[in-house]
Structure formats: C-alpha cells, structure tokens
Amino acid sequence: MSAHTKPPLTAASTKPVTVAAIRAAKGGTPLVCLTAYTTPVAEALDQASDLLLVGDSLGMVVYGLPSTIPVTLDMMIAHGAAVVRGAKRALVVVDLPFGSYQESPAQAFRNAARILAETGCGAVKLEGGAVMAETIAFLTQRGVPVLAHIGLQPQSVNALGGYSARGKLSAEAETILADARAVTDAGAFAVVVEGVVAPLAARITETIRVPTIGIGASAECDGQILVTDDMMGVTFGHVPKFVRKYADVGATMKAAAEAYAADVRERRFPAEEHLYGAPKPKIAAG
C-alpha cells in the first residue's frame, strides 16, 4: 500500500488514536485536528477528529482575554481533564501555557508531567523552534510525547510584532525550515505549522519525516487544524483569513435566545408540559 493510499484514521474504527498512529500518518490521508475546551464539545467532535487540541487559545475563546499570554497551567489542566472525559477516540493534546516551560527543560518536564497526570491526555504541545529543541529532547527522552509548534507563535506575538504571516523573506523562511528540522530531530511526533506562506509550508512538509499540521499554511500539510469556535461560527468579531466557516452557530444561538426571551416575556414559557405538579384541567359535568 502506497503512502497516499493509507486508510484514514477516522474510518469506522473507534479504537483510540495514539501518538504512534499520528506519527505513522505522514504522507497519508490528511489528519483532522480541531480544538476543544469542554466535555460536550469533545464528545461532539471526537468521532470526526484524529486529534483534539486543548489550546491556550481558550484564553481568548473562553475567557475573553486579549491574548494567550495570561493563560495559566491550572486553566489548561482543568480544561484538559474536561476534554479527556469527552474524547473516547481522538488523541488529546494539551498546550503548555506561556511561562510554564521556557525557563528550563526541568521546569518543562515538571509541568508537562503534571498535565499528563492530572488530565489523562496523550501528549503536550509547546511553541518554539531550534531554541526549544533541547527541551523537546529532554521531555521525549523521559516519556512525554511532544507536538511542536513553529512559524507564527501566539505566545511570542509581542516579540514577533503581531500576527502577520511568516516566511515571506528568504532569510526568515530558512530559519523556520531550520526550526522544523530541529524540533523533528529532537523527537517531536508532529509539528504544527502556523501562519506561514504556502510554499514554505509545503517545503517543510516535504523535508521533515513527521507529520505537519497546518493552520494558515498549505493544503500540502499532512493535516489541518482550526479553532473550533472559528470554524463553527461561534466567534464574534474578526475571523482570520485562513478560516472557513462550516456553520453559523453564533447566529443560531442568538436566534434561540431571542425566541426564548420573547416566550418568557409573553408568559408562553414555561407551558403546562414543562411544569411539575401542574393541576389537571377540570372536565365539565354532564
């Protein structure tokens, strides 16, 4: 069987997806990856997904924070455990938040070990290229599977100067390609490639031996990931160019809330069928 005829991980099987299965998907049917932050959403996405990421994007999506920087380890653990409870099949990966791993490999291991132990997830994700290679090697050699993240790195947005696409200039493109090689050699089982120009993302995918998971990158990547709230149309305000909306759940929620409000104000809800111990209507004699 050739690489491009590998069966998709999402074919009828309900067998849990492992880190080894994700790694082996290189060059096969593209991996389907989405974010999840709660048990009900994990349950809804599980069967369609190969990987569910509990991203630090929850800071913005769930908590309304201006960036991912204020997200704490406790927040990631709470949401990670919730997603694990809802996912029976997809591999659950939890982000290491800003400040929880950059200080040293030992710090990264302590916090990654806590995430694995307290959530039951299958792997952690961290941002950074060559500069984080030593940390990735330290973790993987000690039994912590790592999903790497290169290109546009939201935790470094202050240093990078914004959310613009990366790799437009040849020097920057070569640095990002070197990052991809470094995290692969360090032991990452897959690499998220975010916000880089499409030709560079395709080149990275051709170059490294582990799957690439694109977001705002190339269709040539070995998989794709989106923030579920963006994809479902729950996010209000600016939506990145690379997002395709597959539903308009936000509009549905608004319409449902308006209908509920109208029924409450007109005393149409709750109706008799929604009440406990409601008196039965009297039947007239005769």
Q: 218: annotated binding-site residue? A: no
CB 79 within 8 A of CB 39: no
CA torsion 88-89-90-92 (nearest 10°) is 40
Question: Residue 105 is encoded by which pair of tokens?
Answer: 């490999």
Is 57 labelled a binding residue?
yes
Q: State the CB neighbour count (10 A cutoff) for residue 170.
A: 9
Structure token pair of residue 160: 């990078």
Tokens of 270: 């709750």
Q: 97 near 80, Cβ under 8 Å?
A: no
Residue 193: name the closest of 230, 147, 158, 155 by CA: 147
Cα-flanking dihedrals φ and ψ of residue 9, to 5°?
-65, -25
How far is the C-alpha of 164 from the C-alpha of 131, rounded, in Å?
21
List beta partners, residue 191. 148, 212
- 194 an active-site residue? yes
Q: Which of 103, 174, 194, 258 is catalytic?
A: 194
Contact 73, 28 (CB under 8 A): no
CA distance 145 to 129: 16
Q: Would you say 229 is a known binding-site residue?
A: no
Cα-based distances in Å from 150 to 38, 123, 156, 272: 26, 17, 11, 57
d(CA 177, CA 173): 6
Q: Tokens for 139?
A: 């973790």
| Closest among 152, 151, 149 to 132, alpha carbons compared | 149
13 is in an annotated binding site: no
Q: Tell whether 46 is in a known binding site.
A: no
Q: Which residues are annotated as a binding site for Mg(2+)?
A: 56, 95, 127
Residue numbers belonging to the annotated binding site: 56-57, 95, 125, 127
Q: Binding site residues for 3-methyl-2-oxobutanoate, as ranges? A: 56-57, 95, 125
Q: Which residues are catalytic, by number? A: 194
